Structure 1
Amino acid sequence: MFHYTVETSKSVQVAVQDVQEELQKEKFGVLWDFDVQDTLQQKGYEFTDSYRILEVCNPGEAKRVLEQQPLVSYFLPCKVVVYEEDGVTKIGMPKPTALFNLLEDEAIQAIGRDIEERMTSCLNKAC
């Protein structure tokens, strides 16, 4: 499976705040918080689902992977999504290992595993 997703009873807003706090502990900052519902409504499209896409980055890790393999830039920054589906808030992300494995570079894959473990831990703690 290319993604990791957890469920929580928290609202989307609270889950976003909690995810941000947990990610900061691992030195991942939120570069952009894309509120899909708000943006689509501003553009004249009716969209009632609460859906947020966070673009996150750990600058040290970004530097490390880019120095190792410039093609990793195609996968940066990392994304975390928080949305409501059937009354349940979900927090998810594409797995870095799924993306990094496309490069067939064992050193990059090892870094991807480390990043994935740290990010999934953050998502789990945010629940």
Structure 2
Amino acid sequence: MIGEVLQTKKPLEEVAASVEEELKANQFGVLWQLDIHEKLTEKEISVDEKYRVLEVCNPVEAKSILDEDPRAVAFLPCKVVLYTENDHTYVTMPRPTALFHGFESDKIAEVAQTVEDRMAASLKKALA
């Protein structure tokens, strides 16, 4: 379900900026970011590590999936997850091929695989 977990010693903020840049180079936009550490701190819940979720979309690919089956909207947009632990930053994503597996559509499976491959390549390049 979860893709390869990549790690680096770079700070989360630097990694997030690099991930966003590489995704953009592959025609994915970051629609918004959720800083979970910040939100929990606002609620006076102590969290030592940082967590960030990026909502990511390629509008052309999203439309092709929605044209095939509008119920697929439940799994859009894609996510990229960054978190820190023991002075490392980790980056991963839920695999689109796993998310869209139950639709039994060759078209959706093909698009999900393409999206997964392009996103994974972007994440690897961002951490290189």
Q: Distance in 2 between matches of 1:99 and 1:63?
A: 16
- Runs of 4+ in structure 1 displaced over 3 angstroms? none
The normalised TM-score by structure 2 is 0.94
The normalised TM-score by structure 1 is 0.95
Q: Distance in 1 between matches of 2:110 and 2:59?
A: 18
Partner of 2:38: 38
1:7 is paired with a residue whose SS is strand
Q: After superposition, what is the alpha-carbon deviation per residue over 1:87-106, rounded to whole angstroms, capped at 9, x for unaligned?
A: 22111000000011121111
2:45 is paired with a residue whose SS is coil
Which segments of 5 or more consecutive residues in structure 2 lack a partner in the other structure? none
Partner of 2:2: 3
The two structures, once aligned, show a CA RMSD in angstroms of 0.9
Q: What does residue range 1-127 of structure 1 map to in structure 2 within 5 Å?
A: 2-4=1-3, 5-127=5-127
Q: Distance in 1 between matches of 2:111 and 2:60?
A: 12
Q: Distance in 1 between matches of 2:88 and 2:53?
A: 17
The amino acid across from 1:100 in the alignment is F
Q: Distance in 2 between matches of 1:62 and 1:30?
A: 14
The amino acid across from 1:53 in the alignment is V
Q: Distance in 2 between matches of 1:43 and 1:31?
A: 24
Which segments of 5 or more consecutive residues in structure 1 lack a partner in the other structure? none
The amino acid across from 1:102 in the alignment is G
Q: Distance in 2 between matches of 1:117 and 1:126?
A: 14
